[in-house]
Structure 1
Amino acid sequence: MGSAHLSPGLVQAQNLPTLGDTSREDLSPLAERKLGEQIMSFVRRDPDFMNDAPVSEYLNRLGNKMLESRQDARGETSYNFEFFAVRDPVLNAFAFPGGFIGFHSGLILAAQTESELASVMGHEIGHVSQRHIARMLTSQKNDALIPLAALALAVLAARSSPDAAMAIATGGQGLAIQKQLNFGRDAEREADRVGFQILRESGFDTSGMVSFFGRLQNASRNYNDNLPPYLRSHPLTSERIADIQSRLIDERYRQHADSLEFLLTKARVRVLQDSTIQGLMDASTFFDNQLKSGKLEDQITARYGLAFVAYKRLEFASARKQLEQSRKMLEQSTVYKGMLSYSNMYVDLSIDILIGDKQTAAAVKEAEKGMRDLPLSRGVALQYAEALLADSKEEKAAVFLRDQIVLYRQESQLFHLLAKVYAAQGKQAAQHVALAEAYGIEGNLAAALQQLDIARREKDALYYELSVIDAREREWKEKHKEQLADEKKRR
């Protein structure tokens, strides 16, 4: 597919640390997780990272449901998995070291049923639980030494195009890295086996794996030698499909009804995939056509999608109307009736519309109700803080955010919001300290240290804040020094 465009995040990834000599020793679970976290620190900064709370929460609920179905699903390492989406119409999914699994928006939209999406998720979980990535990093004993930093950069680039690894690497390392990125047939069969078992145990229709992979195989015939990324990094053969089909012979057919969250996630992803003027027009046309369907569930989804499109266009009155119509239809559904109070999709969009329309007091009330109905939703909790800030209740927002930080210390968005609150209160030193904490969590130590320097020079810096600045500066300077030393060794 030729060379790939490198986003700023990919370019910065060249500063990733070398975590070990893969030609001499196995990659430990700790090093594998560290590598995954380093890669994710750059993925999260990439403009194509889909930082949408409802979509992320759905993917993680689905993933954790599957993981909980089998005690051994997390593998020998018992990683805490993280599932996320990226904005890319190309059909692909991928696993990073340490339990990070990503889905292209194109693949989510291509899944015709929730069981199909779950089948891909189960397959990727299989790769992680069987430590296929770690095995690949240590199996090529005769290849030239590949620093893990170089591999991390290649994996990031391969997210959109596996051939991008070849463009990034130079000399003999290019071939070695490409060999590391592509799963072999044995690994694919093993991931199929594990994924199939997880799919079955978690109550999904196991034929979803055959239908989705079968459609992929049929689609590949139109690509000739230029296969889609998913098929290039996950070689799909007739033998694999036949093996999955043979597993279905002894399976009792189990119909799985698509969840409301799956349908609404697809609607959100369709809008988020392309929020340009043309993209919103295309999404609106799709939802208008979907309204003509005789199925009530399609009409519920279409109204929700049109509400999201209207919100993106800043047409808040229209957005409210479409969302209310979707809600009314939902209560008429025999399948999804009563699900409204359990769906953060509706709460999230409703709060966003109210804040956008400057109905801030109503937004606060909606968020308060949302937190009561959905106490585990991190997205709704963050929206509550945003609603308080929009309603000029800065002190209440600050107290809430500080309480949340005690519970969720590694959630950088809490610090970003707290920085906004302090800015509104005119607390400049505190604002920059909060921003420094956010950047530190995200792995951007240079920016974190810069914010500490600004905070120290602010006239309103208190003794406590200066103490925090000194402590964080010592910690981050040491880490940053290690990063620079690693970079110097690679030159």
Structure 2
Amino acid sequence: MRVLSATVLIALAALSCTSVLAQSPLPTLGDGSELTASAERRLGERIVRALYRDPEHIDDPVLADYVQGILQALLGAARAGGTLSPEIDERFAWDILLSRDRTVNAFALPGGYLGVHLGLIGLTSTRDELASVLAHELSHVTQRHISRLITDQDRQTPLLLGAMLLGALAASKNPAATQALVVGGQALVLQNQLNFSRTMEREADRMGYGLMAPAGFAPQGFVGMFDKLQQANRLNDNGSWPYLRSHPLTTERIADMQARIPPGQATAQPPTLEHALIAARARVLASPGVDALRQWIAEPQATGFASQPVPRRAAALYAAALASNQLRDAAGARAAARALDDLLRDEPAARRLGRLLNAEIELAAGDADAALAALPEGSARRPELLLRMQALLHAGRPGEGTAALQTWIVVHPGDASAWQLLASAWQALGQPLRAVRAEAEAHAARCDYGAALDRFRAGQDLARRSTAAADHIEASIIDTRLRAMESLLREQAAER
């Protein structure tokens, strides 16, 4: 009886909390978040630390550059339109995380991190379709949907707790009633969250649609992407389309987007060669198995290939060249790349992707000079910078690329791959202290502050044994960065 009385008091207290919560209004669009921007960014960093360690995570410079370019255009439109507040703009990361996963999925994380599966990129036919997904996910972030969901979840917790405690009270009389009460409480919480999520989905559609034209994309991309997802949902309902699970595609959402397209502009934009190559790259890199790679190689040899549209043939040849390169077949990769070059003459953006592919092929074949010849000297774009440094390292000339990479990381200090290449270059140039600091910065860029702290401490030990004047400057930088890592680790410990 004492236990039962205590349980009754706890249940009544929980119900009292529920009563207070019931009087509180639901969050309105754009309001209702109790999570600060700084706290949301820190929460996002805790999540991406695990994603960076995921074997499916991939930092492919070509794909990342393309997707990041779309995101930056959408961010510019959000700033100009006033839907992105200065505080959120400054504090959030605005970074893309790519996954090799072949499933069709994309997601927004706290703090301005967006995740995209290669399966989704490979499904899209146009740049506008991919932009529609990113615009939708970006709107989840700018409208603080994630923090509002967290706030709403905290508010709903007493509902579930109260139902479970009432179930414990009823257990002494009727076990069936216990299950009914607990399940009923869970259903109430889930229904409240589902309704709130549907509201957010509609808002993200509307806000994302409004970003498309100002960012330079055709709004028809929304309708085209919805059509693809709807067809996929009808053809395959075995769980292979997680984007449809987390973003339920309702008839209302589809009709709303179709109604927003002005009359006479409902025709989808034709695919560009550039996007056809990007989608092909995503499909190949998402299927690393030998059998899948051989299928990509065989496609250009099929009957009737020459009669296919140019974007289709270009995508197939690009996939064949990349797949051959993955299988270390330099001759096959070069042959497919030569055939591809003939199709790319009239589109500069596609020709650039062809040059990058040629550089990758020559680098994999061990011909660093040929790889450098395929890369234009002086380019400040990330894929060219990283490939050029890799080729220079293979050629034994790392000093020729360090200045350009240092300029890059001044503007992009969170580029872990650039830091890692700098570490290799400085090590080859006989500057071990700089190399250790760059390794530490690479760990910090992946939000692995513990590993970064270890490398900075190793740098301190190395600096104490060094007598070079230049190393004193590096030692000072290392001391400053080490204290910053210690502070970040203390914050993490306090949050836990």
Task: Give me the whole-angstrom Cα distance separating, in 2, the residues matched to 1:34 and 1:173.
Answer: 29
Q: Measured at CA, do residues 452 and 227 of structure 1 come closer, stay the same or move farther in structure 2, by a change above 3 Å? A: closer
Task: Give me the whole-angstrom Cα distance separating, in 2, the residues matched to 1:437 and 1:303.
Answer: 38
- What residue number does 2:103 align with? 90
Return the structure number with greater helix share. Answer: 2
Q: State the SS of the aligned residue for 1:143.
A: helix
Q: Does 1:72 align with 2:81?
A: yes
Q: Measured at CA, do residues 288 and 56 of structure 1 come closer, stay the same or move farther in structure 2, by a change above 3 Å? A: farther
1:402 Cα deviation from its structure 2 partner: 3.7
Q: How does 1:472-491 map to 2 (within 5 A)?
A: 472-487=481-496
Task: Give me the whole-angstrom Cα distance separating, in 2, the residues matched to 1:80 and 1:62.
Answer: 15
> Residue 242 of structure 1: which of 255, 280, 287 is its match?
255
The C-alpha deviation readout for 1:196-252, integer Å capped at 9, x for no partner, is 233344454444433432342343345668583212211222222222233236463
- What residue number does 1:297 align with? 311
Q: Does 1:413 align with 2:422?
A: no
> Residue 338 of structure 2: which of 324, 347, 351 is its match?
324
The C-alpha deviation readout for 1:362-381, integer Å capped at 9, x for no partner, is 323333x1544xx3x11211
- What residue number does 1:44 align with? 52
Greater Rg over alpha carbons, structure:
2
Task: Give me the whole-angstrom Cα distance separating, in 2, the residues matched to 1:269 and 1:227.
Answer: 17
> Residue 200 of structure 2: which of 151, 173, 187 is its match?
187
Task: Give me the whole-angstrom Cα distance separating, in 2, the residues matched to 1:299 and 1:226.
Answer: 31
What percentage of aligned pairs have identical amino acids? 32
Q: Measured at CA, do residues 37 and 278 of structure 1 come closer, stay the same or move farther in structure 2, by a change above 3 Å? A: same
Please, what TM-score do these two structures have when normalized by structure 2? 0.76
- What residue number does 1:438 align with? 442
Q: Measured at CA, do residues 391 and 138 of structure 1 come closer, stay the same or move farther in structure 2, by a change above 3 Å? A: same
Single out whichever of 311-320 and 462-471 deviates more from structure 2. Answer: 462-471
Give the count of matched residue pairs: 429
Q: State the SS of the aligned residue for 1:432.
A: helix
Q: How does 1:81-480 map to 2 (within 5 A)?
A: 81-144=94-157, 184-202=197-215, 204-221=217-234, 228-248=241-261, 250=263, 252-253=265-266, 255-286=268-299, 288-289=301-302, 291-331=305-345, 337-339=346-348, 343-367=351-375, 369=376, 371-372=378-379, 375=380, 377-458=381-462, 460=466, 462=468, 463-464=471-472, 465-480=474-489
- 5+ long unaligned stretches in structure 2: 1-26, 159-184
Q: State the SS of the aligned residue for 2:98.
A: strand
- What residue number does 2:34 align with? 26
The C-alpha deviation readout for 1:250-269, integer Å capped at 9, x for no partner, is 46345523232211111111
The C-alpha deviation readout for 1:439-469, integer Å capped at 9, x for no partner, is 1232212212222343444455755144444
Task: Give me the whole-angstrom Cα distance separating, in 1, the residues matched to 2:126 and 2:255.
Answer: 21
> Residue 63 of structure 2: which of 55, 60, 78 is its match?
55
Single out whichever of 415-424 and 212-221 deviates more from structure 2. Answer: 212-221
Kept in 2: contact 1:205–1:253 (CA 8 A): no
Single out whichever of 461-470 and 240-249 deviates more from structure 2. Answer: 461-470
The C-alpha deviation readout for 1:52-75, integer Å capped at 9, x for no partner, is 111111112223334444622753
Kept in 2: contact 1:405–1:414 (CA 8 A): yes
Single out whichever of 197-206 and 312-321 deviates more from structure 2. Answer: 197-206
Code of the aligned partner of 1:296: V
Q: State the SS of the aligned residue for 2:114.
A: strand
Task: Give me the whole-angstrom Cα distance separating, in 1, the residues matched to 2:399 and 2:187.
Answer: 54
Q: Measured at CA, do residues 416 and 134 of structure 1 come closer, stay the same or move farther in structure 2, by a change above 3 Å? A: same
Single out whichever of 71-80 and 26-35 deviates more from structure 2. Answer: 71-80
Q: State the SS of the aligned residue for 2:156.
A: coil
1:303 Cα deviation from its structure 2 partner: 1.5
Kept in 2: contact 1:54–1:344 (CA 8 A): no
Task: Give me the whole-angstrom Cα distance separating, in 2, the residues matched to 1:187 and 1:412.
Answer: 33
Kept in 2: contact 1:385–1:400 (CA 8 A): no
Task: Give me the whole-angstrom Cα distance separating, in 2, the residues matched to 1:347 and 1:310.
Answer: 16
1:180 Cα deviation from its structure 2 partner: 6.1
1:298 Cα deviation from its structure 2 partner: 1.7
Task: Give me the whole-angstrom Cα distance separating, in 2, the residues matched to 1:144 and 1:445.
Answer: 32
Kept in 2: contact 1:316–1:357 (CA 8 A): yes
Q: Measured at CA, do residues 60 and 73 of structure 1 come closer, stay the same or move farther in structure 2, by a change above 3 Å? A: farther
